[in-house]
């Protein structure tokens, strides 16, 4: 049975930042890798000075531009089947929690959950993923679009299951506290340490106790592909980003290794002190819905 994995992300850049190595890992193995992006990222910052006037308050063209960045990023990750939830432009970037963009008539945060989920069910019925990957209920770090992406992915998976093609496993992106702690220590002497004010990893809006993590995907063979994908998102991720300096200070494994908690399904065989799975498809029952 062809392996099919579906990633649900909020903005262009999240797919590369949070799951780029995993996507490249499974694409390289010949799995059907589908990415659903829920918004175009219209409310993002612009770290490329010559594009500053594309911002929402001026030309309001950042969303279309970020779609081109996303396409370049996906080309670096491999053969990825990319869809925009409800079609490009259907749902708008809601901005950070509590900002006026939350109230925009097309904001994803204000979307009707059933209608948004129906768009995702349609894609799930076509690609029949055995595995779905999204964020935890806090959207990993509390962004409204990430929280809504979680809700839509979970509701769509529920509806798909009722119709006989639900995923066998659902994972949420996670950062083990041990990795977070090592990363903060690695950056401690860095000149551009964004976490200089952090004294305790519990201060971060994310971080999962190691024993609650279920899977660790080693995509370090795809480290360069992930870095190329991050660089494609230049409006969001400046050359000076800590994402690049931590790889230098922490080591390449930071960039190429991605972790997940298991929200639904049976955990397969694992390694190490906490039995972390090394394959998101491990332990799948044979009866998983076949791709159409």
Segment lying near Zn ion (by CB under 5 A), choices 13-21, 54-62, 74-82, 181-189: 13-21
287 burial via Cβ count (<10 Å: 0-12, 13-18, 19+): exposed
Segment lying near Zn ion (by CB under 5 A), choices 9-17, 23-31, 216-224, 253-261: 9-17
**Pick from 3, 7, 8, 11: which binds Zn ion (CB under 5 A)?**
11
**Residue 254: how many other CB atoms lie within 10 Å:** 18
Q: Is the four-CA dihedral 279, 173, 288, 277 of positive or negative sign? A: positive
Kindly tell me which of 9 and 169 has the beta carbon lying closer to ligand LKMZNTP5: 9
Annotated binding residue 11: yes
Residue 14 binding Zn ion, by CB under 5 A? yes
Residue 10 binding Zn ion, by CB under 5 A? yes
Annotated binding residue 125: no
Task: Say how far residue 143 (Cα) sits from the centre of its chain.
Answer: 13
What residue number has its CB nearest to Zn ion? 11
Kindly tell me which of 144 and 289 has the beta carbon lying closer to Zn ion: 144
Residue 43 binds which of Zn ion, ligand LKMZNTP5, none (CB < 5-8 A, kind-dependent): ligand LKMZNTP5
Annotated binding residue 14: yes
Residues that bind ligand LKMZNTP5 (CB under 6 A): 11, 13-14, 17, 41, 43-45, 93, 95-96, 143, 236
Kindly tell me which of 92 and 169 has the beta carbon lying closer to ligand LKMZNTP5: 92
Segment lying near Zn ion (by CB under 5 A), choices 8-16, 70-78, 228-236, 263-271: 8-16
Residue 150 binding Zn ion, by CB under 5 A? no
Kindly tell me which of 93 and 277 has the beta carbon lying closer to Zn ion: 93
DSSP string, the chain: ---EEEEEESSTTHHHHHHHHHHHHHHHTT-EEEEEE----TT-----GGGGGGSTTTT--HHHHHHHHHHHHHHHH-SEEEEETTSTTSSB---STTSGGGGSTTBGGGS-HHHHHHHHHHHHHHH--SEEEE--TTTTT--HHHHHHHHHHHHHHHHHHHTT---SEEEEEE-BHHHHHHHHHHHTT-TT-TTTT-S-GGGSS--B-GGG--EEEE-GGGHHHHHHHHHHTTTTS-TT-HHHHHHHHH-HHHHHEEEEEEEES-----BTTTTBBS-TTTT--TTSPPP-
Kindly tell me which of 14 and 69 has the beta carbon lying closer to Zn ion: 14
For the bound state, the minimum distance from the C-beta of residue 43 to ligand LKMZNTP5, rounded and expressed in Å, comes to 4
Kindly tell me which of 11 and 259 has the beta carbon lying closer to Zn ion: 11
Shortest CA distance to 288 belongs to which of 172, 160, 122, 171?
A: 160
Segment lying near Zn ion (by CB under 5 A), choices 14-22, 128-136, 234-242, 281-289: 14-22
Residue 92 binding Zn ion, by CB under 5 A? no
Residue 41 binds which of ligand LKMZNTP5, Zn ion, none (CB < 5-8 A, kind-dependent): ligand LKMZNTP5
Residue ranges for the binding site for Zn(2+)? 11, 14, 146
Residue ranges for the binding site? 11, 14, 146
């Amino acid at each position: 049975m062809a392996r099919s994995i579906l990633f649900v992300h909020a903005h262009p850049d999240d797919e590369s930042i949070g799951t780029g190595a995993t996507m490249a890992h499974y694409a390289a193995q010949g799995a059907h890798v589908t990415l659903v992006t829920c918004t175009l990222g219209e409310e993002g910052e612009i770290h490329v000075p010559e594009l500053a006037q594309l911002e929402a308050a001026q030309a309001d063209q950042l969303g279309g531009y970020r779609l081109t960045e996303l396409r370049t990023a996906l080309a670096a990750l491999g053969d990825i089947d990319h869809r925009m939830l409800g079609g490009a432009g259907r749902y708008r970037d809601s901005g950070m929690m509590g900002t006026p963009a939350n109230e925009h008539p097309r904001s994803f945060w204000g979307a009707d959950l059933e209608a948004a989920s129906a768009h995702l069910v349609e894609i799930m019925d076509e690609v029949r993923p055995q595995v779905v990957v999204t964020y935890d209920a806090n959207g990993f770090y509390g962004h409204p679009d990430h929280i809504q992406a979680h809700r839509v992915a979970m509701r769509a998976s529920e509806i798909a299951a009722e119709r006989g093609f639900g995923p066998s496993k659902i994972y949420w992106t996670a950062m083990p506290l041990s990795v977070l702690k090592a990363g903060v220590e690695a950056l401690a002497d860095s000149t551009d340490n964004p976490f200089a004010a952090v004294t305790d990893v519990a201060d971060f809006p994310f971080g999962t106790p190691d024993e609650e993590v279920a899977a660790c995907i080693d995509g370090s063979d795809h480290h360069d592909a992930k870095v190329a994908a991050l660089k494609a998102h230049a409006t969001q991720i400046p050359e000076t980003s800590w994402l690049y300096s931590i790889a230098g200070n922490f080591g390449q494994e930071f960039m190429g290794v991605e972790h997940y908690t298991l929200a639904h399904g049976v955990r397969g065989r694992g390694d190490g002190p906490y039995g972390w799975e090394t394959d998101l498809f491990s332990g799948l029952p044979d009866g998983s819905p076949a791709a159409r």
